[in-house]
């Protein structure tokens, strides 16, 4: 039912920005201003070359916003579509795919900020960056099953939505987004922030081919393992709860 998924996704975008002149580009504009402001300030505080830090920050902010949107919107992908679930017989996977497509469209708009940052700073990327396409497919698959998992759990326990939103806010500060992981690796006592942070691996597997032109093997292995765990847990949980979701919402 991919046609229905596209229609619902574009409908969400149109409803969100109905009556707006720039539409979703308002989000791109605000993101660009945020990246520019943070780039100038934090490059001075961290003593990092602007030509490296600004593309790094733009890429990190855009990817992190996409990840947060998939997780947070995945928590309500069923409860916000209660009128469709109660009135029509549509597979629940449609609502999870709707969440992925909708946020991917927004990501495509925000990619303009990354292109401008790379162009202004004259940051060159090599052919190795094409490996990020495979990493992005891993994100798509993981996000789809994560939407099914979070959507089912949050349909039963509504407080989990707020808990996940709070966790994502904390994860933003302990994940190398505004700061770079190289500085933290120098301290053995602080390495646990990277070692036990799943968001670091998922973000780095997509970011490092573009920024560094290389990819560490253990980053790929851990990222794939995280995705497999999410897929397995989601499959089991959703199989046990899908018959009750219509009653929970």
**180 within domain boundaries:** yes
CA distances from 183 to 19, 46, 180, 204 (A): 46, 10, 6, 15
Residue 2 lies in a domain: no
Per DSSP, the three-state class of 139 is helix
- 7 part of a folded domain: no
Q: Are residues 171 and 124 in contact, defined by beta-carbon separation less than 8 angstroms?
A: no
Task: Locate 135 and state its tokens.
Answer: 């990493």
Q: Give the pLDDT confidence score for residue 82 in this predicted structure.
A: 82
What pLDDT is attached to residue 71?
94
Its domain, for residue 48, covers 22-248
pLDDT tens, the chain, 249 aa long: 788 888 888 787 777 777 666 666 777 788 888 888 888 888 888 788 888 888 999 999 999 999 999 999 999 988 888 888 887 888 888 999 999 999 998 898 888 888 898 888 888 888 888 899 999 999 999 999 999 999 999 988 889 999 999 999 999 998 888 888 776 665 666 677 788 889 999 999 999 999 888 888 889 999 999 999 999 999 999 889 888 888 887
Domain presence at residue 192: yes
Total of domains in the chain: 1
Q: Is residue 226 part of a domain?
A: yes
Q: Which residues of 135-155 are buried (b: 16+ CB within 10 A; e: fewer)?
A: bbebbeebbbbbbbbbbbbbb
> CA-to-CA distance for 180 and 175, rounded, in angstroms?
9
Nearest residue to 182 via CA among 216, 223, 206, 138: 216
Task: Please check whether residue 52 lies inside any domain of the structure.
Answer: yes
Residue tagged 């973000």 (tokens): 203
Q: Is residue 10 included in any domain, yes or no?
A: no
**Of the candidates 144, 60, 57, which has an alpha carbon nearest to the alpha carbon of residue 95?**
144
Domain-located, residue 203? yes
Q: Tell me, what's the pLDDT at 36?
A: 86
Closest to 150 (Cα-Cα) out of 67, 247, 27? 67
């Amino acid at each position: 039912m991919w046609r229905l998924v596209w229609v619902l996704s574009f409908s969400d975008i149109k409803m969100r920005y109905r009556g707006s002149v720039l539409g979703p580009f308002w989000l791109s504009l605000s993101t660009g201003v945020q990246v520019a402001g943070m780039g100038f300030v934090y490059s001075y505080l961290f003593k990092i070359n602007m030509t490296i830090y600004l593309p790094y920050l733009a890429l990190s902010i855009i990817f992190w916003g996409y990840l947060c949107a998939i997780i947070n919107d995945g928590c309500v992908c069923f409860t916000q579509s209660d009128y469709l679930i109660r009135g029509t017989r549509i597979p629940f996977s449609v609502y999870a795919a709707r969440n992925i497509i909708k946020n991917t469209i927004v990501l495509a708009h925000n990619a303009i900020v990354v292109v401008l940052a790379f162009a202004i700073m004259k940051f060159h990327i090599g052919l190795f960056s094409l490996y990020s396409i495979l990493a992005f497919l891993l994100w798509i698959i993981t996000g789809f099953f994560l939407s099914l998992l979070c959507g089912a759990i949050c349909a039963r326990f509504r407080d989990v939505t707020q808990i996940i939103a709070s966790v994502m806010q904390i994860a933003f500060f302990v994940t190398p987004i505004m700061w770079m992981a190289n500085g933290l690796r120098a301290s053995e006592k602080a390495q646990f922030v990277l070692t036990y942070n799943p968001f670091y691996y998922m973000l780095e597997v997509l970011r490092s081919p573009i920024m560094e032109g290389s990819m560490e093997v253990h980053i790929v292995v851990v990222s794939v393992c995280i995705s497999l765990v999410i897929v397995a847990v989601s499959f089991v949980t959703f199989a046990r709860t899908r018959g009750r979701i219509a009653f929970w919402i």
